[in-house]
């Protein structure tokens, strides 16, 4: 109980740091043309969990307590993540009208503005990265990671495969491809960028790459399970959609019980990896526990 509260407080605290960066960086709501700035801010500040920024910051804290640059890098990733959510919710893509417990961006502002708001958040992410005060060579290396993630070897590939395979007979390989590209690579970017900024050694890098992979997979398996077993009010988005649109999900391929077992096994390996860092890993251990037991 004590640990759960500690985690919640810490997540909220880091969430606020990220929000400060985002708020300072983005144009004001009333800045011309204000409709687009309002639409961009709507989903961004609708109350996301900010799990990806938290993972990035707390992985970095295994090596350093500095907050400024890692928070900016984390905020840039949250801009990209929010862009994917806005576009994903569009009627032409996944067609959802609720996001983060609020109306989806296109419901309030129309599909045209939601499309542009997503584009603008994505481009703003790269601009934010460009402005971070780190060595140019490191900055280039990091920007390359973010850009690769967003392209047709990352998010777009995952989304495309998702569309192509809707309603098709399920294969474990295709499931892995979609989850890896749509979800897991974002989490791997968190641990990788934390290692780059901390100038972590090869052993740490290898270890934390695996951790990012396991974390991302568990996150998505639990997301698939929550779409079956979750409650709309606590999740802040529609449930039961995956089955209705015959999406490739973990439970669809492996069944519910095996999916839960796999998530459990993966989180145990993730805990073992971070335990290497002793007391410094406490926050990551609490985060691991949160993602595997979450109801939201
Ligand atoms: C690239 C055109 C285009 C669209 C984006 C990658 C992608 C396509 C969409 C991803 C959208 C999506 C729902 C991915 C699954 C990953 C996932 C479970 C996202 C929700 O993450 P949470 O639970 O959300 O961390 P919050 O709201 O807390 O940030």
CA of 84 to the centre of ligand 1 (A): 6
Report the distance separating Cα 105 and Cα 107, nearest Å: 5
Q: pLDDT value at position 296? A: 72
Spatial contact of 184 and 214, defined as CB atoms under 8 Å apart: no
Q: Is the CB of 49 under 6 A from ligand 1?
A: yes
CA of 85 to the centre of ligand 1 (A): 5
Q: Which residues contact 247 (CB under 8 A, 6 or more apart)?
A: 162, 166, 241
Pairing of the two strands 98-99 and 102-103: antiparallel
CA of 113 to the centre of ligand 1 (A): 19
Q: Is the CB of 286 under 6 A from ligand 1?
A: no
Q: Is the CB of 53 under 6 A from ligand 1?
A: no
Report the distance separating Cα 203 and Cα 180, nearest Å: 23
Q: Give 26's Cβ-side CA count (13 Å radius).
A: 30
CA 121, distance to chain mean position in Å, is 15
Q: pLDDT value at position 169? A: 82
Report the distance separating Cα 190 and Cα 114, nearest Å: 26
pLDDT along the chain (296 residues), means of 10: 91 98 97 98 98 98 98 98 98 96 98 98 98 98 98 97 88 96 98 98 98 98 93 64 74 95 98 98 98 88
Report the distance separating Cα 33 and Cα 43, nearest Å: 18
Q: How many residues does the chain have?
A: 296
Residue nearest to atom 20 of ligand 1 (CA): 85
Q: pLDDT value at position 217? A: 98
Q: List the alpha helices (DSSP H) in the chain.
A: 2-25, 34-44, 51-60, 68-89, 105-109, 111-131, 136-150, 155-165, 172-179, 185-197, 202-229, 232-235, 241-244, 250-254, 256-275, 282-293
Residue 210, classed as helix, strand or coil, is: helix
């Amino acid at each position: 109980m004590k640990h759960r509260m500690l985690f919640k407080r810490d997540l909220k605290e880091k969430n606020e740091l990220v929000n400060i960066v985002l708020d300072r960086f983005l144009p004001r709501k009333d800045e011309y043309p204000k409709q687009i700035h309002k639409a961009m801010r709507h989903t961004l500040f609708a109350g996301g969990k900010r799990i990806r920024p938290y993972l990035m910051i707390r992985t970095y804290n295994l090596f350093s307590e500095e907050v400024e640059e890692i928070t900016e890098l984390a905020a840039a990733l949250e801009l990209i993540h929010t862009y994917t959510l806005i576009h994903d919710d569009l009627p032409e893509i996944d067609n959802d009208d609720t996001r983060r417990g609020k109306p989806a961006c296109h419901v309030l502002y129309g599909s045209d503005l939601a499309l542009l708001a997503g584009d603008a958040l994505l481009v703003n992410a790269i601009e934010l990265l460009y402005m971070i005060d780190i060595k140019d060579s490191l900055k280039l290396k990091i920007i390359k990671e973010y850009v690769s993630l967003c392209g047709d070897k990352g998010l777009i590939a995952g989304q495309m495969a998702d569309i192509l395979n809707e309603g098709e007979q399920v294969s474990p390989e295709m499931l892995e491809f979609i989850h890896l590209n749509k979800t897991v690579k974002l989490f791997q970017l968190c641990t990788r960028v934390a290692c780059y900024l901390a100038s972590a050694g090869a052993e740490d890098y290898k270890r934390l790459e695996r951790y990012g992979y396991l974390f991302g997979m568990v996150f998505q398996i639990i997301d698939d399970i929550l779409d079956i077993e979750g409650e709309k009010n606590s999740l802040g988005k529609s449930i039961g959609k995956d089955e209705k649109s015959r999406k490739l999900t973990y439970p669809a391929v492996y069944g519910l019980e095996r999916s839960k077992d796999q998530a459990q096994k993966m989180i145990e390996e993730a805990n073992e990896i971070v335990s290497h860092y002793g007391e410094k890993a406490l926050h990551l251990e609490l985060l691991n526990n949160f993602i595997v037991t979450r109801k939201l």
